[in-house]
């Protein structure tokens, strides 16, 4: 967008060069899009939210979500590849949890806040 003349002026101040430069950094925006793709699935949102609150194995997660172990493993693999979920091995068992990253914490807060705002049932009995 360097030296781009905008078709409409709108009497606004010029867009800072730093913003113009960032618009061309498609890789950063692709990273964000990839993460949002992961959370574009109800099951993965539920799974991620659960793992923000506890550490569990696939068998227990499968029981909690009423899903097959292979289906849960598929979703976990996608969440791991995006860096939202981490795992640790203890003997034969693998335990999963939300990654301890600023990105995961921010998404967790965002999910909880959206649920709070969008679901009036959560706000019943709360004092403002």
d(CA 31, CA 82): 9
Residue 56 main-chain phi, psi, to 5 deg: -145, 160
Q: What is the mean pLDDT of the chain?
A: 86
DSSP structural state of residue 56: E
**If phi over 0 gives left and psi between -120 and 50 gives alpha, with beta otherwise, what is residue 65?**
alpha
Q: Is residue 5 part of a domain?
A: no
| Residue range 19-63, pLDDT digits in tens | 878 888 899 899 889 888 888 999 999 999 999 999 999 999 999
Record the tokens describing residue 95, joined without a space.
């335990």
**SS3 assignment for 81-96:** HCCCEEEEEECCEEEE
6 lies in some domain: no
Note down the domain range covering 63: 17-121
Structural domain tally of the chain?
1
Residue 128, pLDDT > 50, answer: no
Query: What is the C-alpha separation between 120 and 80, in angstroms, rounded?
Result: 32
Q: In the chain, pLDDT over 90 holds for what percent of residues?
A: 59
Does residue 7 lie within any of the structural domains?
Answer: no
What pLDDT does 42 receive?
Answer: 93
Would you say residue 1 has pLDDT above 90? Answer: no
For residue 8, give the DSSP letter: -
What pLDDT, on a 0 to 100 scale, did the predictor assign at position 56? 96
């Amino acid at each position: 967008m360097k030296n781009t003349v905008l078709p409409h002026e709108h009497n606004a101040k010029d867009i800072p060069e730093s913003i113009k430069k960032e618009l061309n950094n498609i890789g950063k925006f692709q990273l964000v899009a990839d993460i949002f793709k992961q959370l574009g699935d109800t099951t993965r949102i539920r799974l991620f939210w659960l793992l923000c609150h506890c550490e569990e194995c696939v068998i227990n997660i499968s029981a909690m979500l009423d899903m097959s172990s292979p289906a849960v493993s598929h979703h976990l693999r996608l969440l791991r590849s995006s860096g939202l979920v981490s795992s640790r091995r203890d003997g034969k068992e693998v335990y999963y949890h939300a990654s301890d990253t600023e990105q995961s914490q921010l998404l967790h807060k965002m999910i909880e806040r959206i649920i709070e705002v969008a679901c009036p049932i959560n706000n019943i009995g709360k004092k403002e």
